[in-house]
Structure 1
Amino acid sequence: MVKNDGSVLIHSDGGSYKPLNWMSPPATMHIADREELEDSSTFDLADDPDLQQLWRVQAAKSDDLLKIRVYSVVGELSHDLGVDPGLIKDGVEADLQRLLAEQIERLGAGYTLVRREYPTAIGPVDIMAKDANGVSIAVELKRVGDIDGVEQLTRYLELLNRDPLLAPVKGVYAAQKIKPQARTLAEDRGIRCVSLDYDAMRGVDDVEARLF
C-alpha cells in the first residue's frame, strides 16, 4: 500500500492488521521495471530471472532503505479518499456526560440534575444530581469503568461528605462497560453501578425492535 504522504506498507494476506514492514514518511520511491533492470549494470537478473519490478523506498531523514521485489502484479487500484477529516471520536466521556445530564432519569425515577462538572478542591465531579428523596448523588462517568475510576469517585465522596450542606452524598459509577473487578470494588464501597447504552441514549437504537 502506497499513501499520498509517501508512506509504504506491506501487508500479509491475513492474520493481523499491522503491516509486516513499512517505510514512514517522508520518503522517496523509485520503481524499476523489467526493462530498466535489464539495462542496469548494478543488478544481475541472472540471479533472479522471475523478477518483474524492484521498488526502492528511501527514507528522507535517515539511511533506511526498503527494497520490495515484485514477481507478478495481480491487480493495481488507486483511490482518492478526499480531504482527511482527522480522527473524530464518538461516544467519548463528554458525550456520555451531556446525554446523561439530559436524561438524568436513567439513574432512577425522580432524579434531578444539579450540575455538570461540579467543582471540588480535588477536581470536578462529572455530574451532581439528587434522587427522589433529595439525597445528593455524585456520578463518575467512564466509557470503560475500571478500578481507577472507582478510586477517583471514592475520593470525591470522602471530600463531599465533609460538607454538612451536602452530606450524605452517595455515589453512582456509570459507564458503557464496567469491568467485573471494578464493579465488585464499587459495590463493596456502597457505590451503585449503572451500565449505559450509548446508542439508546442518542436515539439510534430502537430497544422495542430488538429480538433479545
Structure 2
Amino acid sequence: MRIIIADCTAHYSGRLHATLPLARRVVLIKADNSVLIFSELGSYKPLNWMAAPCTLKEITTDQLDTSYIDLTQDIGQAPELIIRAAAQKSDDVLEVVFQQIISDQTVDLGTDPGLSKDGVEEHLQELLAEQITRVGDGVRLIRREFPTPIGPVDIMAVDEQGKHIAIEIKRHGGIDGVEQLTRYVQLLNRDPLLAPVRGVFAAQTITPQARTLAEDRGFTCLLLDYDEMKGTQDGLLRLF
C-alpha cells in the first residue's frame, strides 16, 4: 500500500468528467494499482477513485512535456509528480497532479484474513434452530436450509400438531423479505405431503410496512434479540 499525503488536484475523464481542485488530500495506491483519493472530512467513501484492473504511469517534473501544460496552469508551478491511472476495460482515466508532497510511504500490509461478522443472518438462523421453541411451544426443527426449486427456506419446522412452518430470517425485515417468504409458502403448499404450511417472518427489526404485509398474508412476525439469544446459547445469565 502506497500512502501519499499531498497538495494535489485530480481530473477524471471518460464516461464522466470530474475535477478536484487543489487541496491537501490522502491518496492510496493499492497493490492491484487501484487509486483512491480521500479528504479529511466528509464521507468514508473516497472523493474519486480508479478501480482495478488499471495501469499506472508516474511522471516526474523532469519528464513533463507539453501534454501536461494545462494541468500545471491551475497550480501555478510545475508539479512534483503526476500519477495517471488508466482503466483496462474502458477509456476512463484518473490523473492526480501532486503540487507538494508532504509524505510518501509504502507499507506492506500482508495478507488480510477478512472481516469476521457477528450477528449476520447465518448466525440468527443457527441460534433460532437451536432455540426453535421461540417460534412456539412444542415446535420442532426439521432442518435448516430446507431445499425448494426456488431456493432454500431458512428453517423448516413443525408445530405440536404436526403442521409445517416455513421460517424466513432477516437481520432487517422489509417488504422484500415478506415477498420471499410468500413465494416459499405458496410453493410448499402445492406439496400434499407438506401442506398446510404457514409462514413465520423472523428478524431483528421489522418495518411497519413489512409487518402489515406479513400479517395480511397470514404470517407470524417474530422479533429476534441476537444478544439475548447468544446469551442463552453460552449459558450466561444476562439481566438486559
What is the CA distance between 1:126 and its match in structure 2?
Answer: 2.4
Q: Kindly tell me: are residues 112 and 195 of structure 1, through their superposed partners in 2, closer, same or farther at Cα, counting changes over 3 Å? A: same
Contact 2:83-2:97 at 8 Å conserved across structures: no
**Cα gap change, 1:18 to 1:156, in 2 (>3 Å):** closer
1:22 has 2:87 as partner: no
1:177 is matched with which residue?
Answer: 205
TM-score in terms of structure 2 length: 0.66
Segment of structure 1 superposing worse, 86-95 or 15-24? 86-95
Cα separation, 2, equivalents of 1:110 and 1:123: 27
* Aligned counterpart, 1:2: 29
User: Which residue of structure 2 aligns with residue 72 of structure 1?
Assistant: 100
Give, in whole Å, the separation in 2 of the partners of 1:141 and 1:101: 11
Q: CA deviation at 1:12?
A: 2.2
Is 1:195–2:223 an aligned residue pair? yes
Q: AA paired with 1:187?
A: E
Distance 1:7 1:124, change over 3 A: closer
Q: Structure 1 unaligned segments of length 5 or more: list them.
A: none
Cα shift readout 1:2-22 (whole Å, capped 9, x = no counterpart): 112112211222222232222
Query: Which of the residues 86, 100, 109 maps onto 2:137?
Result: 109
Query: Which of structures 1 and 2 has the larger relative contact order (alpha carbons within 8 angstroms, sep 6+)?
Result: 2
Residue range with higher mean Cα deviation, 84-93 or 138-147: 84-93
Identical pairs, percent: 57
Separation in structure 2 between the aligned mates of residue 167 and residue 49 of structure 1, nearest angstrom? 77
The Cα offsets for residues 76-120 of structure 1, whole Å up to 9 and x where unpaired, read as 454322114456655443433233212212223332112223345
* SS of equivalent to 1:172: strand
- The answer (yes or no) to whether the contact 1:24–1:59 under 8 Å persists in 2 is no
- TM-align CA RMSD: 3.6
**Gapped runs of 5+ residues in structure 2?**
1-27
**Which amino acid in the other structure matches residue 130 of structure 2?**
E
Aligned to 1:140, the other structure's residue is in SS state strand
Letter of the 2:39 partner, please give it. S
Residues in 2 aligned to 1:55 and 1:108: alpha-carbon distance in whole angstroms: 65
Work out whether 1:186 is the aligned partner of 2:214: yes
Taking the aligned partners of 2:76 and 2:186, their CA distance within structure 1 comes to 76
**Normalized against structure 1, the TM-score is what?**
0.73
Q: Tell me what 1:81 maps to.
A: 109
1:125: which partner in 2?
Answer: 153
